[in-house]
Structure 1
Amino acid sequence: MGIMYRSRKKFGPLILNFTQRGLSSWTVKIGRWSWNSRARAHRVDLPGPLSWKQDRSRS
């Protein structure tokens, strides 16, 4: 496996994630809560190294 390029740009609560192919996903983070466009999952940061994640519903 070769060298991978990844970059992250923050604009307030909006975070843009880039790879060598371009924009890969975006995230909205407000306080401890965040939502990712690629995983379509809600995440809440808990105290310490813990977090809670709710995946998108599978219909």
Structure 2
Amino acid sequence: MGVMLRKQKKIGPITLHFTQNGFSSWSVKIGRWSWNSRAKAHRFDLPGPLHWKQDKS
């Protein structure tokens, strides 16, 4: 397995994700809530190392 190049560009609450093949996905994070365009799932950060995730279905 080779080395993978990943990069993120943050513009306010929106983060753009890039790989070596180009644009990959985008996400938005407001406070403890976030959403990712690839996973199409909502996520809420809980205290400590915990989080709650609602899948797209």
Q: Does 1:9 align with 2:9?
A: yes
Matches within 5 A, 1:32-51: 32-51=32-51
> What is the identity, as a one-letter code, of the residue corresponding to 1:21?
N
Give the count of matched residue pairs.
57
What are structure 2's unaligned runs of at least 5 residues?
Answer: none
State TM-score, norm by structure 2: 0.97
Q: Distance in 2 between matches of 1:24 and 1:31?
A: 23
Q: Distance in 2 between matches of 1:12 and 1:23?
A: 18
State TM-score, norm by structure 1: 0.94
The runs of at least 4 aligned residues of structure 1 exceeding 6 Å deviation read none
Aligned-pair RMSD on alpha carbons? Answer: 0.5
User: 1:6 Cα deviation (Å)?
Assistant: 0.2
Q: Distance in 2 between matches of 1:31 and 1:12?
A: 12
